[in-house]
Amino acid sequence: MKVSLIGGTGFVGSHIVPAMIAAGHVPRLLMRHPESGHGLPLDRCEVVLGDVEDLAAVTQCVTGADAVIYLIGILREFPARGITFEGLQSRGVALTLSACNLKGVGRFVLMSANGVKPDGTAYQSTKFRAEEAVKASGLRWTIFRPSVIFGRPQGRMEFCTQLRRDIIDSPLPAPLFYPGLLPMGAGGFQLAPVAVEDVAQAFVRALARPETEGQSFELCGPEPKSWREILETIAAAVGKRKMMLPAPALGVKTAAALFDRFPWFPITRDQITMLLEGNVCADASVYPLLGIQPQAFTVASLSYLNEG
């Protein structure tokens, strides 16, 4: 099967591409620059150079494909550099769907995100609109909604590597965010980190399972962890003990209002909002359906944090 990947050179894509090849598929990658595919087995892929907002390039990428996977997602936007939630997470999906319909590609798989909603943050609302466009496309679609994803970064941005750099390795105490005025339950909100290898296998196996068509699936790890537990696990994985102190979300958002337009500031107001909402799954039925045993978030599963 020939599978076109839009966003296949990112963190998740760097794991999906070799999984696709191992399953006997031929990946075709849309790449903005030749160097963006570093570390990927490009000798076993087809490559189309172009931008996701260029209809001609996207159409070339999907022509002749049996299926298209859309993986592009960003955690923060920088409009001055043309990096926006609207462009990459909503318009890009709509344009790719148009190209699929134009070229008769019937199968489409979207990486959305757990917790998307129409009236949420810009990240959440653009992901939601992308889902709605996919459902209305007339294609045979599947939507995956991962929680936060962890795993070997392969030279790309990754959840635990970023937390280690910005929080665990910092000389400052780790922030246990809390809403309101009183630090009751600081750092108690829960996430369900999911291993990138499990996410990759879900995408690959869904292509061979017609019963996944017309379905949306949550992808979470097998056991939710509090923010405090996540930071403790990352610290333990790199052989550290970390002091942690309650941090009022309002104060952090005030600082972010001044500085989150700069790449060096580690967190945005919207990211604080989404963290406090938590990110866990209500349904894990996708794993038995696809024959996947999800990996737990443990010190052992974070051993990659100690690699050069």
Query: Residue 156: pLDDT band by 50, 70, 90 thresholds?
Result: very high
Q: How many domains does the chain have?
A: 2
Q: Which amino acid is at 174?
A: A
Instruction: Answer yes or no: is pLDDT of 254 > 70.
Output: yes
In this structure, are 237 and 101 located in the same domain? Answer: no
Residue 303 lies in a domain: no
The DSSP secondary structure of 256-291, one letter per residue, reads HHHHTTSTTS---HHHHHHHHH-B--S--THHHHHT
Q: How far apart are CA 172 and CA 142, in angstroms?
A: 43
Q: What is the mean pLDDT of residues 120-135?
A: 97
Residue 213 lies in a domain: yes
Residue 59 φ/ψ, nearest 5 degrees: -60, -40
Instruction: Answer yes or no: is pLDDT of 308 > 80.
Output: no
- For residue 169, the enclosing domain spans 159-189+225-277
Q: What is the mean pLDDT of residues 186-191?
A: 97
Q: How far apart are CA 294 and CA 11, in angstroms?
A: 19
Q: How far apart are CA 185 and CA 46, in angstroms?
A: 50
In this structure, are 83 and 205 located in the same domain? Answer: yes
pLDDT given for residue 31 in this prediction: 95
Report the run of H or E that residue 119 belongs to, with start and end: none
In this structure, are 74 and 182 located in the same domain? Answer: no
In this structure, are 142 and 211 located in the same domain? Answer: yes
Q: What is the mean pLDDT of residues 298-304?
A: 98
Mean pLDDT of the chain: 95
CATH number at residue 208: 3.40.50.720
Instruction: Answer yes or no: is pLDDT of 263 > 90.
Output: no
Q: What is the mean pLDDT of residues 156-175?
A: 95
Instruction: Answer yes or no: is pLDDT of 164 > 70.
Output: yes
Instruction: Answer yes or no: is pLDDT of 40 > 80.
Output: yes
**Tally: H helices and E strands in the chain:** 11, 13
In this structure, are 174 and 85 located in the same domain? Answer: no
In this structure, are 109 and 182 located in the same domain? Answer: no
Longest pairwise C-alpha distance within the chain: 58
Written as six digits, the tokens of 296 are 């737990």
Q: With beta carbons less than 8 A apart as the criterion, state whether 16 and 5 touch.
A: yes
Q: With beta carbons less than 8 A apart as the criterion, state whether 272 and 252 touch.
A: yes
Predicted TM-score (pTM) above 0.85: yes
Q: How far apart are CA 63 and CA 250, in angstroms?
A: 49
The percent of residues in the chain predicted with pLDDT above 90, rounded, is 89
CB atoms within 10 A of CB 275: 18
Written as six digits, the tokens of 83 are 């990096």
Q: Which residues partner with 150 through β-bridges?
A: 195
Q: How far apart are CA 233 and CA 297, in angstroms?
A: 8
Residue 215 lies in a domain: yes
Residue 44 lies in a domain: yes
